[in-house]
Amino acid sequence: MRERAQIEQDIKKCLAFENEYKDAVTLAELADEEDDPDAKQEAQKTIADLYERSEAYRLESLLSGEADRNDCFLEIHAGAGGTEAQDWAQMLVRMYTMWAGDRGYSLEQIEESLGEEAGIKSSTLKIMGARAYGWLKSESGVHRLVRISPFDSNARRHTSFASVYVYPVIDDTIEVTVEEKDLRIDTYRASGAGGQHINKTESAVRITHVPTGIIVQCQTDRSQHKNKATAMSMLRARIYEMELKKREEQQKGLNSAKSDIGWGRQIRSYVLHPYQMVKDLRTNYEKGNAQAVLDGKIDEFLLSYLGGIEA
């Protein structure tokens, strides 16, 4: 039913677009006949706007993978480097949170492990909206930050790494079998804010899938049972995404996007000093306004990966 609703929405969008285009062409023809400059200008503006929207629709049509329409989980892990890397990981959480808000997506924090002094060691977000996984799947990989450290009294330049891992939320139409004997389930006390109950009981759940080494954890709810159910949903999604990646690698001969958090593995570089530049190292697309990117304006990088913007 969700798939049907999405297809109906797409058809309505295309029909409405076609009607707008016909109206704009009619307006342009009338403006020519009557030699009306104001009407000509309005028609040109309308057609230019329609062209931009048609490009957006075209790019959305490229998101036709098996799980591209689904919601997604987004994990962020700080690399080596202590406080510097943990602060960078938190900056990435903020960037994706602002991006999701700008698109009207819903966002839920599943897990967060705070750093000792500042920032976070890890965080898992659930992003809910049309084609969330399709748009964000290209973000999986290592992100590198170069800046003057706010934590260094000598104001030296530091390089920090954090990894981003995106995988789809799967629904009941996709069957993923997980054997109970393959699981190791640990409970622990949640960290951070959350009131007396959440910090005094072992409500947080960590599940390890022994055959694959996949680890998921959830501490978003007071109930251990609810956290376990969410963690199991994440685990099934991770296993499913892993199988998708294997299939893609067999077809395209690609290496997995998930890799070591360090030099030579990064997909995007964010430079704040001695100049400002954000560059995607896969597409060579770059943007000088680094602060805007960190404020969630990453659509151009997503589009460049899909082929909508040339470097």
**Residues 162, 110: one domain?**
yes
* Per-residue exposure over 268-306, b if at least 16 CB sit within 10 Å of its own CB, e if not: bbbbbeeebebbbebbebbbeebeebbebbbebbbbbbb
Is the dihedral angle over the CA atoms 36, 39, 43, 49 positive or is it negative? positive
What is the DSSP code (8-state) at residue 189? P
Count: domains in the chain: 3
Residue 311 lies in a domain: no
Same domain? For 188 and 296 the reply is no
120 domain-assigned: yes
Please report whether residue 219 resides in a domain: yes
Q: Domain check: are 107 and 154 in the same one?
A: yes
Does 67 map to a domain?
no
Tell me phi and psi for residue 113, to 5 degrees. -115, 115
**Domain identity same for 169 and 191:** no
Cα dist from 245 to 62, 242, 294, whole Å: 18, 5, 28
Q: Which of 14, 37, 62 is the last residue of a domain?
A: 62
Predicted local confidence at residue 97, as pLDDT: 97
Residue-level pLDDT at 197: 47
pLDDT along the chain (311 residues), means of 10: 79 90 90 88 89 79 79 93 92 97 93 90 93 92 92 84 92 72 87 53 87 89 88 88 73 48 76 94 94 95 79 55
Domain assignment present for residue 34? The answer is: yes
DSSP per-residue string spanning 91-152: HHHHHHHHHHHHTT-EEEEEEEEE-SSSSEEEEEEEEESTTHHHHHGGG-EEEEEEEE-TT-
Residue of 74, 283, 228 whose CA lies nearest to 166? 74
Q: Which of 15, 34, 62 is the last residue of a domain?
A: 62
Amino acid at 139: E
What's at 246, amino acid-wise? Answer: K
Token digits for 197?
């109950």
Q: Is 143 among the domain residues?
A: yes
Q: Are strands 106-114 and 120-128 parallel, antiparallel or unpaired?
A: antiparallel
Is 104 a domain residue?
yes
Give pTM, 2 decimals: 0.70
- The pLDDT assigned to 259 comes to 47
**Same domain, residue pair 190 and 49:** no
Q: Indicate whether 161 and 293 sit together in one domain.
A: yes
Which residue among 44, 62, 80 closes a domain? 62
Residue 258 included in any domain: yes
Q: Are 160 and 263 part of one and the same domain? A: yes
CA distances from 217 to 174, 197, 227, 288, 293 (A): 22, 18, 8, 37, 29
Tell which residue, 104, 94, 178, 90, has the closest CA to residue 135: 104
How much is the pLDDT for 141? Answer: 92
Per 3-state DSSP, what percentage of the chain is helix, strand, and coil (rounded to 5)?
A: 45, 25, 30
Q: Are residues 86 and 157 in the same domain?
A: yes
Q: Are residues 244 and 283 in the same domain?
A: no
Angle, CA of 161, 120 and 234, to the nearest 5°: 95
Residues 246 and 258 placed together within one structural domain of the fold: no
Note down the domain range covering 34.
Answer: 2-62
Same domain, yes or no, for 137 and 278? yes
Say if residue 77 is in the same domain as residue 121: yes
CATH of the domain at 231: 3.30.160.20
Q: Of how many residues is the chain composed?
A: 311
Taking the C-alpha atoms of residue 186 and residue 113, their distance in angstroms, rounded to an integer, is: 16
Residue 126 belongs to domain with CATH number: 3.30.70.1660
